[in-house]
Structure 1
Amino acid sequence: MPADANAYGDIFGGWLMSLMDSAAGLTASRRVKGRAVTVAMDGMQFHAPVSVGDEVSVYTEIQRVGRTSMTIAVDAWRRHRNEDDAVKVTEAIFTFVAIDENKHPRPIEQE
């Protein structure tokens, strides 16, 4: 939406990062069957801008699961509304920690 963009119509990187964090958080919560929190984000690279009106798709893949934490790779793609081809616009690695009801790290069940 226009409120999420700069004066040139490009979406703010922070808005896109928030979308990516939300997607990774859903993936993490599903894997740990409970609450997981973001503790780090590494290697975010912007490859192309996203414009107001573009369709944005976010994809996640769990890369590693440790005792209480996991890393999730996240890619974001954009497609102009009148085109068929999508373009990768950014990528990053998010680290999440599973937490218990007292907000302390808890073990992740290994599959």
Structure 2
Amino acid sequence: MTHAAPEGELTLQTVAFPKDTNSGGDIFGGWVISQMDIAAGTTAAQRAKGRCSTVAIEAMRFHAPILVGDLVSVYTQITKTGRTSITMHVETWVRRQRTGEIAMVTEGDFTFVAIEKSGVKRELPPE
């Protein structure tokens, strides 16, 4: 479901460049997911006070393409924590370079697990 305004905290902002396009000339979906994972990983690491790993990406929805030159903003919001896991809703919004229009283009739910340096799961610290 789309929203009138971003939900969550602005976590990452970048500009889409020609090198990030697919064969149709729009920004490649894999690039978008990568930006979302970077932003979500930052939020997860802050909450976990350390290293985290992505374990699931669910319910990805692509509402509109991202165009070259768009200002891409990724918002994250923790929706659930478990003993070792953090789940969050991630939204990608753009400001269109040519028109100034602002729109949500992608959203999804990401789950991370807190891990030790060795890669073994660890419990989340208290908030």
Which range, TM-score by smaller chain? over 0.9
From 8, 11, 18, the counterpart of 1:2: 18
Q: Structure 2: how far apart are the matches of 1:7 and 1:31?
A: 38
TM, length-normalised to structure 2? 0.83
Deviation at 1:62, TM superposition (A): 0.4
User: Which residue of structure 1 lines up, in the alignment, with residue 81 of structure 2?
Assistant: 65
User: Which residue of structure 1 lines up, in the alignment, with residue 122 of structure 2?
Assistant: 106
In structure 1, the gaps of 5 or more residues are none
User: Which residue of structure 1 lines up, in the alignment, with residue 68 of structure 2?
Assistant: 52
Q: Structure 1: how far apart are the matches of 2:101 and 2:33?
A: 22
Deviation at 1:102, TM superposition (A): 1.6
User: Which residue of structure 2 lines up, in the alignment, with residue 27 of structure 1?
Assistant: 43
Q: Structure 2: how far apart are the matches of 1:75 and 1:53?
A: 19
Cα-to-partner distance string for 1:6-37 (whole Å, 9 max, x where unaligned):
24320000000000000000000000110000
Identity %, equivalent residues: 52
TM, length-normalised to structure 1? 0.95
What is the aligned residue count? Answer: 111
